[in-house]
């Protein structure tokens, strides 16, 4: 018998025996059903679908046309009754392959695939069908990885409108779309789905400058340039007129400015066109198509899903999993069962197994959007990309104009990832995010409590922590850009879990099915090792890992017969990396995270859930918003803590625990709060936050531990940090602040609601802080404290950090050496601050905490050095020395000499052909190693150039390069440089034989967007001499320099154009080539070019 433990706290209620097992409950009520495949057991509900039921809708015996042999769709010999015609019911039997090539097909009632349905990839074709169903062991193949649908072709599947769905045939309305139980393989031509812009476009412009040349963008493609205003929808739908490199000419001019509040923030363009298209014919929501994938391992790449989905998030769904008998026709929830069925979405991975031992789904480069040919199409009425109890990777996708939620995990146990996706524009219900939640104590008479989420207008809604969310963008959302609701809906139990409990502690009646939904978080539904990479690769919470593990503090655990420990997913930390929200009502909300982790986690913040490098800008309520509440901290001490869920929030934490936020950048519009929480948030750590242009900065009083380190504030209307006592429902708050700037204000107001029996502590730079009215007599004022006083004296932290371990030196040159080591930890309270690097016993330099590798430079060749490292905390305590590494640098070159030279003048100097001799002799570079890993193996950073050959990049101010040249004759030479800079511009000085010339330049729009700048004139003697190029600024690239005799006329000026020649091809196929001669002149030639 498997062992099970229920522990922790759930919404303040004790969780313990007696209990009635969930499985026993469902067995006795007759509602337990085993779903097909992959070892899962779930509550049976009307939206659960198995392959037999699906296949029964389209029996092969009812087919009017069956394929009798493999062949072409349009070949009558393929069929028993000729090529399928209007109204046909088509069957592709097992063992038969039909290649679809009709344009268009007849208007078909249904197609059932038991064999293989393959599309021709080199021609335009359209399948018109009401319902397309594939069964087990079948294959639908719309392009392959080696043979995708061509950019010159278009393959369309249109789900036609044959009138209202026939409920006498399909009582649960599963049809009208693609329902796939077999293998699904879709490969459209690769296409850049979305890209950042090199220039922020403004009203009146008709050109987009992209960061890089896009793949397969064509004239006629439909683009969207996302609006940057949260006040109104300023998204602009435009058409590509032409593409040249990274420059896109538009057929229309822009109406709005698309300029963010800081120049280093990104703007974007999204391409909505794909060469494989699945689309609805009808504009009526209840008559549109949907895509449901029901077997694991599907591949859908570069496909467009246009106006798909029937589940309407503007109203509740009509077939809830529980409470249906209580709420049906109650005056609030008056929907008939088929009015708005759930699970009919644009792309829906439906219960294919949330386990790592199955093949994951792959959706890459796809788009969910309205039809791109206009005609009143509005997008998806419900959700876009949906992972429901499945394992799926969704990467590089675009979702545009979805009502409820663009990227959704449905239950909470889902696995996989959302990476580099873009969610743009949601309408949203205007309801509170949890307005339709089932809760045990709520009176459902005023709202439909059915566990219906993701309706409020969000970019990414994650119902669990196990789908990695990384480098995504959410824009134009009515409510949140990102929402985590990490407590699973109670409809999944792994087969290995013997007896998950449903505690009835607060109920005075017999347990019933509706209680399953009311006790989310008590089912051990995920193998604990799935937490192996949470919250980071260095700090995880899986069993046998360092630090606390999830099995120790989870709400519920179960040990299976094979020894695998299962835990509830709500106890696993989330991991959110590099995501961006802009022009949204709010940025991010975290709800129900790690409830119950409690004392196991206190003080061990490295194991908290992680939000890192999160950016939110232009966050605020839209004009006319009257439904979603705004959030603010009032100076009389009031804060509507029950409403940090509406608009005007950079990041909110509700009913959640143990969250670490590192390096967030939050920019508002002068209203709302940068970071806040409700009355039941516990354990929040904020490090290196940048918070700009809000009414208030941070709400800094949670239950348990609250830490804020090194915040940066600007343009905060009221107070930067707020410590207020109202409506905190559980006790013993500890708030610790470090490195708050002298001009920032910390507002302290105990209010009348604080329970005076709490043990509370407030600290600022390791000194105790008190509310002013309760401060001891020896406390002092501090200019940062408003309503508070601070104890006198210095830091109470006297404990040094742990010693850095395993110091090593993996590489060295004649002038530098690299070192790395294992991180230290600090228990004294002030936290790790930096590491000191010592060379031969003397301090060489320091690096910030979080950095465990550095370079020691400026060394002599052929010399032995002893190096060690120490760690220091915020109070100045320094650890013992690490182990010492002894390193002997490489011998320095004996002399400087030309590389591929001497280089003739007049002529060119390719940047990468600097002299040999090494660091400090032929060049000076501030970093160790060749960052670009190209051409030469030393410390100069070299990469391939788009103009041919190579360029020197990653240039830093103070670096220099030298070149030995051979000057043909004494005289004046005009010098020009071929340069590029993404955003900041650059500058250089060229000197030789005592003469020098300098130039500076602005941004060119990209690291490979090249321009030529005049440097000036140098007077050079005849014969061999050395030219030095010195960097006067950082962040630019150098391709080459040209030297032309100042006395030469324009017709004979000697310049260099490129390395090794360059070519272009005219539209008639004639190739033009310019070849560079060594004397700096040029010859031109033409020749035929053929593919």
Q: What does residue 446 show for φ and ψ, rounded to 5 degrees?
A: -110, 5
If one compares 1082 and 203, the residue with the highest pLDDT of the two is 203
CA–CA gap between residue 243 and residue 216 (Å, rounded): 9
Query: Which pLDDT score, from 0 to 100, does residue 323 have?
Result: 58
pLDDT tens by residue, 638-662:
544 445 678 999 999 888 889 999 9
> In terms of domains, do 867 and 919 share one?
no
Number of residues in the chain? 1091
> What b/e string do you get for 571-597 counting C-beta neighbours within 10 Å, with b at 16 or more?
bbbbbbbbbbbbbbbbbbbbbbbbbbb
- Give the per-residue pLDDT at 752: 59
> Could you tell me if 90 and 132 lie in one domain?
yes
CATH of the domain at 977: 2.60.120.260
Q: Are strands 734-738 and 703-709 parallel, antiparallel or unpaired?
A: parallel
Q: Looking at residue 994, what is its pLDDT?
A: 87
pLDDT band for position 260 (50/70/90)? very high
Mean pLDDT of 916-927: 91
**What are 724-749's pLDDT values in tens digits?**
754 454 557 788 999 999 889 998 87
Q: What's the pLDDT score for residue 950?
A: 94
Residue 557's contacts (CB-CB under 8 Å, 6 or more residues apart) are 4, 5, 7, 524, 528, 551, 565, 566, 567
Whether 100 contacts 67, CB under 8 Å: no
Say which CATH number the domain at 821 has: 2.60.40.10
pLDDT in tens, 375-385: 544 689 999 99
- What is the reported pLDDT for 501? 47
Task: Evaluate whether residue 514 is within a structural domain.
Answer: no
Reduced to 3 states (helix: H, G, I; strand: E, B; else coil), residue 27 is: helix
Q: Supply the pTM of this predicted model.
A: 0.72
Question: Is pLDDT of 982 > 80?
Answer: yes
Check pLDDT > 60 for residue 932.
Answer: yes
pLDDT at 794: 64
Q: Which residue has the higher pLDDT, 42 or 72?
A: 72
Mean pLDDT (whole number) for 945-962: 94
Report, as an integer, the average pLDDT of 529-536.
86
Which range (17-26, 159-168, 472-481) has the least confidence? 17-26
Identify whether residues 871 and 907 lie together within a single domain.
Answer: no
Mean pLDDT, rounded, for 1063-1074: 35
Which of 349, 370, 402 is the last residue in one of the domains? Answer: 402
Same structural domain, 167 and 303: yes
Domain identity same for 922 and 869:
no
How buried is residue 262: exposed, middle or buried, by Cβ count under 10 Å (0-12/13-18/19+)?
exposed
For 236-255, write each residue's pLDDT tens digit: 999 999 999 999 999 999 99
Assigned domain for 619 exists: no
Six-digit token string for 510: 């017999």
Strand order in the sheet with 842-848: 842-848, 832-839, 864-873, 885-888
pLDDT at 1: 27
- Across the chain, mean pLDDT equals 84
Predicted pLDDT at 682 = 81
Query: What is the enclosing helix (H) or strand (E) of 670?
Result: none
**Residue 982 domain boundaries:** 903-1055
What pLDDT was estimated at residue 73? Answer: 97
Mean pLDDT calculated for residue range 243-270: 97
Q: Does residue 918 lie in a domain region?
A: yes
With respect to residue 150, please indicate whether it lies within any of the assigned structural domains: yes
Domain boundary among the residues 369, 402, 435 is at 402
Checking if the pLDDT of 1007 tops 60, the result is yes
Domain termination residue (choose one: 402, 435, 454): 402
Residues 875 and 955 in one domain: no
Same domain for 860 and 933, yes or no, is no
Same domain, 872 and 936: no
As a whole number, mean pLDDT of residues 666-675 equals 94
Q: What is the pLDDT of residues 340-397, one digit of tens each?
A: 999 999 999 999 999 999 999 999 999 999 976 655 446 899 999 999 999 999 999 9
Q: Is 411 left (phi over 0), alpha (psi -120 to 50) or beta?
A: alpha
Q: Specify the pLDDT at position 49.
A: 43
- Whether residue 876 is predicted with pLDDT greater than 90 in this model: the reply is no
Closest CA to 305 of 227, 363, 361, 350: 363
3-state DSSP call for residue 28? helix
| pLDDT of 275 strictly over 50 | yes
pLDDT value, residue 657 = 86
Q: How confident is the model at residue 629 (pLDDT cuts 50, 70, 90)?
A: confident
On whether both 1046 and 955 belong to a single domain, the answer is yes
Q: Are 156 and 127 a contacting pair, CB within 8 Å?
A: yes
Q: Give the span between the Cα atoms of 677 and 255, in whole angstroms.
A: 38
- With contact defined as beta carbons under 8 Å apart, do 823 and 538 qualify? yes
More confident residue, 18 or 1053: 1053
Asked whether the predicted pLDDT for residue 1069 surpasses 50, the reply is no
Is residue 1061 predicted with pLDDT exceeding 80?
no
Judged against a pLDDT cut of 60, whether residue 98 lies above it is answered with: yes
Does 994 lie in the same domain as 853?
no
Segment 568-580 mean pLDDT: 93
179-183, 595-599, 632-636, 873-877 — most confident range: 179-183
What per-residue confidence (pLDDT) applies to 662? 96
30-45 residue pLDDT tens: 322 222 222 333 333 3
pLDDT of residue 1018 exceeding 80, the answer is yes
Q: Binning pLDDT at 50, 70 and 90, where does residue 626 land?
A: confident
Establish if 765 belongs to a structural domain.
Answer: no
- Residue 521's pLDDT is 61
pLDDT higher than threshold 50 for residue 1087? no
What end-to-end distance do the CA atoms of the chain give, in Å?
A: 69
925 in any annotated domain: yes
- Over residues 843-873, the pLDDT tens digits come to 999 999 989 999 998 888 889 999 999 999 8
Residue 599: its pLDDT value, please?
65
The reply to whether 157 and 280 lie within a common domain is yes
Which pLDDT band holds residue 592 (cuts at 50, 70, 90)? confident
490 confidence band (pLDDT: 50, 70, 90): low
pLDDT value of residue 317: 87
Which residues is 942 bridged to in the sheet?
952
User: Do 60 and 156 have their domain in common?
Assistant: yes
Q: What pLDDT is attached to residue 907? A: 94
Total number of domains constituting the chain: 3
The torsion angles phi and psi of 27, rounded to 5 degrees, stand at -65, -40
Q: Is residue 177 part of a domain?
A: yes
Note whether residue 526 is domain-resident: no
């Amino acid at each position: 018998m498997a062992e099970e433990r229920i522990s922790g706290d759930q919404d303040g209620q004790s969780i313990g025996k007696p209990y009635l097992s969930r499985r026993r409950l469902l067995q006795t009520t007759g509602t337990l059903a085993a779903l097909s495949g992959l070892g899962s057991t779930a509550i049976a509900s009307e939206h659960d679908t198995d392959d037999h039921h699906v296949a029964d809708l389209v029996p092969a015996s009812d087919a009017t046309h069956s394929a009798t042999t493999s062949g072409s769709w349009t070949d009558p010999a393929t069929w028993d009754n000729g090529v399928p015609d209007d109204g046909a019911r088509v069957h592709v039997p097992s063992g038969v392959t039909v290649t679809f090539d009709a344009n268009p097909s007849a208007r078909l009632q249904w197609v059932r695939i038991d064999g293989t349905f393959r599309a021709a990839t080199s021609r335009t074709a359209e399948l018109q069908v009401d319902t397309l169903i594939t069964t087990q062991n079948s294959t639908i193949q719309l392009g392959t990885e080696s043979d995708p649908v061509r950019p010159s072709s278009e393959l369309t599947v249109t789900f036609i409108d044959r009138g209202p769905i026939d409920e006498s045939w399909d009582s649960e309305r599963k049809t009208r779309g693609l329902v796939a139980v077999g293998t699904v393989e879709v490969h459209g031509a690769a296409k850049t789905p979305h890209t950042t812009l090199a220039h922020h476009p403004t009203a009146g412009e008709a050109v987009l400058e992209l960061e890089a040349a896009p793949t397969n963008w064509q004239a006629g493609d439909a683009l969207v340039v996302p609006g940057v205003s949260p006040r109104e929808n300023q998204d602009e739908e435009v058409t590509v007129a032409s593409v040249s490199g990274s420059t896109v000419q538009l057929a229309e001019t822009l109406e709005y400015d698309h300029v963010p509040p800081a120049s280093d923030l990104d703007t974007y363009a999204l391409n909505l066109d794909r060469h494989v298209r699945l689309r609805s014919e009808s504009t009526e929501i209840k008559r549109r198509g949907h895509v449901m994938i029901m077997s694991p391992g599907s591949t859908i790449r570069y496909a467009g899903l246009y106006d798909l989905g029937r589940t309407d998030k503007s109203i509740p769904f009509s077939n809830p999993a529980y409470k249906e008998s209580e709420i049906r026709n109650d005056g609030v929830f008056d929907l008939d069962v088929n009015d708005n069925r759930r699970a009919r979405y644009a792309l829906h991975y439906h219960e294919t197994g949330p386990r790592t031992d199955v093949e994951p789904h792959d959706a890459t480069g796809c788009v969910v959007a309205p039809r791109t040919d206009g005609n009143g199409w509005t997008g998806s009425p419900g959700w876009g990309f949906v992972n429901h109890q499945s394992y799926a990777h969704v990467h590089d996708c675009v979702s545009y104009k979805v009502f409820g939620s663009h990227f959704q995990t449905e239950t909470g146990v889902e696995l996989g990832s959302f990476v580099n996706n873009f969610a743009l524009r949601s309408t949203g219900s205007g309801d509170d995010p949890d307005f339709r939640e089932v809760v045990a104590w709520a009176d459902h008479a005023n709202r439909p409590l059915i566990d219906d989420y993701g309706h409020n207008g969000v970019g990414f809604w994650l119902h669990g922590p196990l789908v990695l969310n990384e480098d995504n963008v959410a824009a134009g959302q009515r409510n949140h850009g990102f929402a985590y609701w990490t407590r699973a809906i109670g409809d999944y139990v792994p087969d290995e879990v013997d007896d998950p409990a449903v505690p009835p502690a607060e109920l005075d009646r017999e347990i019933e099915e509706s209680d399953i939904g009311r006790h989310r978080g008590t089912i051990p539904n995920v193998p604990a090792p799935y937490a192996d990479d949470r919250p980071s690769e260095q700090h995880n919470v899986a069993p046998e890992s360092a630090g606390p593990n999830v099995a120790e503090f989870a709400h519920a655990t179960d040990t299976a017969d094979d020894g695998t420990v299962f835990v509830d997913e709500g106890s696993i930390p989330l991991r959110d990396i590099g995501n961006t929200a802009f022009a949204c009502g709010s940025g991010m909300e975290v709800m129900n995270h790690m409830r119950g982790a409690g004392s196991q986690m206190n003080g061990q913040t490295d194991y908290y859930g992680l939000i890192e490098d999160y950016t939110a800008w232009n966050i605020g309520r839209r004009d006319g918003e009257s439904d979603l509440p705004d959030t603010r901290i009032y100076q009389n001490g009031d804060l509507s803590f029950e409403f940090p869920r509406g608009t005007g929030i950079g990041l909110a934490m509700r009913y959640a625990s143990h969250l670490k936020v590192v390096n967030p950048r939050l920019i508002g519009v002068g209203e709302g709060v940068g970071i806040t929480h409700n009355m039941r948030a516990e354990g929040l750590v904020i490090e290196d936050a940048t918070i700009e242009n809000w009414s208030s900065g941070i709400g800094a009083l949670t239950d348990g531990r609250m830490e804020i380190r090194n915040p940066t504030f600007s343009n905060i209307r009221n107070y930067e940090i707020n410590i207020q006592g109202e409506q905190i429902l559980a006790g013993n708050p500890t708030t610790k602040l470090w490195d708050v700037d002298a001009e920032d204000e910390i507002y302290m107001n105990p209010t009348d609601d604080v329970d005076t029996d709490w043990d509370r502590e407030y600290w600022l730079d390791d000194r105790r802080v008190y509310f002013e009215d309760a401060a001891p007599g020896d406390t002092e004022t501090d200019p940062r404290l408003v309503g508070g006083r601070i104890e006198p004296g210095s830091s109470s932290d006297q404990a040094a950090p742990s010693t850095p371990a395993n110091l090593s030196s993996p590489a060295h040159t004649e002038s530098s050496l690299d070192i790395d080591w294992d991180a230290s930890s600090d228990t004294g309270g002030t936290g790790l601050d930096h590491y000191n690097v010592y060379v031969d016993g003397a301090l060489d330099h320091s690096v910030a905490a979080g950095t465990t590798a550095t370079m020691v430079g400026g060394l002599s060749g052929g010399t032995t050095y002893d190096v060690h490292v120490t760690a220091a905390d915020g109070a100045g305590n320094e650890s013992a020395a690490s182990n010492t590494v002894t390193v002997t640098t490489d011998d320095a070159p004996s002399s400087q000499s030309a590389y591929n030279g001497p280089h003739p003048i007049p002529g060119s100097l390719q940047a990468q052909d600097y002299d040999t001799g090494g660091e400090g002799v032929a060049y000076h570079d501030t970093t160790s190693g060749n960052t670009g890993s190209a051409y030469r193996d030393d410390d100069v950073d070299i990469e391939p150039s788009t103009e041919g050959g190579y360029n020197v990049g990653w240039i830093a101010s103070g670096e220099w390069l030298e070149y030995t040249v051979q000057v043909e004759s004494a005289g004046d030479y005009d010098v020009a440089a071929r340069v590029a800079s993404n955003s900041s511009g650059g500058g250089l000085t060229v000197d030789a034989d005592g003469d020098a010339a300098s130039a500076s330049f602005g941004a060119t729009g990209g690291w490979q967007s090249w321009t030529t700048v005049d440097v000036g004139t140098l007077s050079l003697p005849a014969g061999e001499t050395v030219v030095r190029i010195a960097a006067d600024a950082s962040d630019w690239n150098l391709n080459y320099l040209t030297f032309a005799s100042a006395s030469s006329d324009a017709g004979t000026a000697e310049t260099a154009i490129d390395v090794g020649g360059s070519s272009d091809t005219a539209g008639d196929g004639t190739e033009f080539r310019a070849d560079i001669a060594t004397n700096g002149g040029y010859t031109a030639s033409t020749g035929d070019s053929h593919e």
